[in-house]
């Protein structure tokens, strides 16, 4: 008698997945540290919780640190490296110098992880988990993350200067910076939603306040009462350039969908944020997220998982750094 298909086929399917799985997502695996560092999540969570009781702003800072690492040269921890004889530090890139934060926190969590499971967990994976915990502790969605990223052996300030989007850039250029990394238009809109928490330095939107495009007045795409409040917080002189203004003026510390509501009523702070509402390729998504918080929560998790897999090093590539700022 012939074997029924059920068994044979399921075996075939099983082997199919065994072979295909690593090709789909590198060596990343949801159970990667289950045996080798079972307390990892607990350690990272505690590190974030302690940091945020002192400084809630650290949540937004970590999202930014992670994004700047991943979007230039992939998620491989190059952003942590100090300069050496053979490369400059990405910490000195235009988008990072005097603004990137969170290095000490990740380094201190890494020390605790090293005590529990020496030489096992990359700085890149610690940052990835820390970002998830930062989102959750700010009231945002939980999303599970495959692990197994390894740390890179070099940094590249040129790539950091060219690949990290700037708030002054046209939306088309920003979209290109995402699509060349395998991210899409929806990811641009969804990941921009991280600006629901955190602060911006005045210089990042000052051109919108006083003499927008040579008009002698503020950007017409900026709500008039918000514009006058921003003019007070960011007076038209260089000394105000580093003053901090909340990106979401309404629920500054809460990870929610109010960022999109703000864009709908012309209250986006950065020109690059407000552009998502003026461009008809993205405005429909902005409207959707402004109305449906659960849709945003679900899509944000999915786009973050995508972002965390950009350009990762797995298997035998890279290394597990002992300290995040130095190659071993
Ligand atoms: C995990 O942490 C608990 C305490 O929270 C400790 O009792 C246990 O030994 C730790 N496990 C490992 C494998 O380090
Ligand atoms: C508390 O946060 C501030 C930044 O807001 C930081 O300078 C300081 O080092 C933090 N203190 C501790 C104990 O982490
Ligand atoms: C940085 O990346 C650019 C573009 O890929 C490359 O031309 C350059 O050699 C790299 N620099 C270093 C120091 O690796
Ligand atoms: C800036 O002004 C020029 C000429 O006045 C106009 O063509 C252009 O569309 C304006 N740009 C923006 C972003 O408003
Ligand atoms: C928030 O925006 C309103 C105008 O929409 C303004 O009156 C208020 O001062 C702003 N608050 C902050 C902290 O920026
Ligand atoms: C924009 O929408 C928010 C609600 O999300 C509201 O609190 C805020 O006052 C609105 N701003 C303006 C200028 O209408
Ligand atoms: C967007 O606007 C342009 C011109 O304003 C138009 O050609 C295009 O069809 C519009 N696209 C969508 C998706 O509405
Ligand atoms: C907005 O949401 C609706 C319902 O979920 C969906 O059908 C539509 O395609 C969405 N629009 C955009 C532009 O994403």
Provide the total of helices (H) and of strands (E) in the chain, helices listed first. 13, 2
Question: Which residues lie below 8 Å from residue 182, measured CB to CB, with a gap of 6+?
Answer: 306, 310
Q: Which atom of ligand 6 is nearest to the CA of 261?
A: 5
The secondary structure of 128-196 as a DSSP string is HHHHHHHHHHTT-------B--BB-S---HHHHHHHS--TTS-HHHHHHHHHTTT--HHHHHHHHGGGG
Residue closest by Cα to atom 7 of ligand 2: 55
Q: Which of 250, 257, 286, 299 is nearest to 139 (CA)?
A: 257
Rounded distance from Cα 69 to ligand 3 centre (Å): 15
DSSP type of residue 156: -
pLDDT in tens, the chain (328 residues): 444 454 444 444 444 444 444 444 458 999 999 999 999 999 999 999 999 999 999 999 999 999 999 999 999 999 999 999 999 999 999 999 999 999 999 999 999 999 999 999 999 999 999 999 999 999 999 999 999 999 999 999 999 999 999 999 999 999 999 999 999 999 999 999 999 999 999 999 999 999 999 999 999 999 999 999 999 999 999 999 999 999 999 999 999 999 999 999 999 999 999 999 999 999 999 999 999 999 999 999 999 999 999 999 999 999 999 999 999 9
Contact 265 CB / ligand 6 (< 6 Å): yes
Q: In DSSP terms, which residues pair with 177 in a beta bridge?
A: none
pLDDT of residue 26: 52
> Under a CB-based contact definition with an 8 Å cutoff, are residues 165 and 154 in contact?
no
Contact 38 CB / ligand 1 (< 6 Å): yes
Tokens at residue 231, please? 């003019």
Contact 249 CB / ligand 5 (< 6 Å): yes
Tokens at residue 131, please? 């970002």
Q: Which of 324, 297, 302, 326 is nearest to 149 (CA)?
A: 324
Q: Which of 66, 80, 89 is nearest to 108 (CA)?
A: 80
Residue closest by Cα to atom 8 of ligand 5: 229
Rounded distance from Cα 156 to ligand 3 centre (Å): 6
Rounded distance from Cα 60 to ligand 2 centre (Å): 15
The H-or-E segment that residue 208 falls in is: none
Rounded distance from Cα 281 to ligand 7 centre (Å): 8
Rounded distance from Cα 287 to ligand 8 centre (Å): 9
CA 252 from centroid of its chain's CA atoms: 17
Q: In DSSP terms, which residues pair with 200 in a beta bridge?
A: 245
User: Ligand 3: which of 84, 156, 157, 162 to mutate, judged by most atoms within 8 Å of the beta carbon?
Assistant: 156
Q: How many CB atoms lie within 10 A of CB 131?
A: 27
Q: Using CA of residue 212, residue 216, residue 217, residue 221, what is the dihedral sign? A: negative
Which pTM does this prediction carry? 0.90
Please name which ligand lies nearest the alpha carbon of 35: 1
> Under a CB-based contact definition with an 8 Å cutoff, are residues 76 and 318 in contact?
yes
Structural domains of the chain, with CATH: 40-163 (1.10.520.10), 171-303 (1.10.420.10)
pLDDT of residue 27: 84
Q: Which atom of ligand 6 is nearest to the CA of 266?
A: 13
Please name which ligand lies nearest the alpha carbon of 87: 3
Tokens at residue 102, please? 């969170």
> Under a CB-based contact definition with an 8 Å cutoff, are residues 301 and 65 in contact?
no
End-to-end CA distance of the chain: 61
pLDDT of residue 99: 92
Please name which ligand lies nearest the alpha carbon of 299: 8
The secondary structure of 75-107 as a DSSP string is SSSGGGPPP-SS---GGGSTTTTTT---HHHHH
pLDDT of residue 25: 46
Rounded distance from Cα 258 to ligand 6 centre (Å): 9
Active site residue 68: yes
68, 149, 195, 321: the active-site residue: 68
User: Ligand 6: which of 267, 286, 287 to mutate, judged by most atoms within 8 Å of the beta carbon?
Assistant: 267
């Amino acid at each position: 008698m012939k074997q029924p298909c059920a068994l044979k086929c399921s075996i075939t399917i099983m082997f199919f997945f065994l072979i295909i799985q690593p090709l789909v997502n590198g060596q990343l695996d949801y159970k990667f540290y289950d045996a080798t560092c079972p307390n990892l999540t607990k350690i990272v969570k505690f590190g974030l919780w302690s940091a945020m009781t002192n400084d809630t702003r650290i949540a937004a800072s970590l999202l930014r640190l992670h994004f700047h690492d991943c979007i230039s040269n992939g998620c491989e921890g190059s952003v942590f490296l100090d300069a050496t004889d053979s490369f400059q530090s990405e910490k000195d890139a235009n988008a990072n110098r005097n603004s990137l934060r969170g290095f000490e926190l990740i380094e201190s969590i890494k020390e605790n992880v090293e005590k529990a499971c020496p030489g096992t967990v990359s700085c890149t994976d610690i940052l990835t988990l820390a970002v998830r915990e930062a989102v959750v502790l700010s009231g945002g969605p939980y999303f599970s993350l495959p692990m197994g990223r390894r740390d890179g052996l070099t940094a590249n300030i040129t790539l950091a200067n060219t690949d990290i989007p700037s708030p002054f850039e046209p939306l088309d250029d920003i979209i290109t910076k995402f699509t060349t990394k395998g991210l899409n238009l929806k990811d641009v809109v969804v990941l921009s939603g991280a600006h629901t928490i955190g602060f911006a330095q005045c210089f990042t939107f000052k051109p919108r306040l006083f003499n927008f495009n040579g008009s002698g007045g503020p950007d017409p795409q900026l709500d008039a009462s918000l514009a006058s409040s921003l003019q007070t917080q960011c007076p038209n002189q260089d000394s105000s350039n580093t003053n901090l203004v909340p990106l979401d003026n309404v629920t500054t510390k809460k990870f929610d969908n109010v960022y999109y509501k703000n864009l709908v009523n012309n209250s986006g702070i950065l020109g690059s944020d407000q552009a998502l509402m003026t461009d008809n390729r993205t405005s429909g998504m902005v409207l959707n997220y402004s109305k449906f918080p659960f849709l945003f929560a679900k899509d944000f998790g999915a786009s973050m998982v995508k972002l965390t897999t950009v350009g990762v090093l797995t298997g035998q590539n890279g290394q597990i750094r002992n300290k995040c700022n130095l190659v071993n």
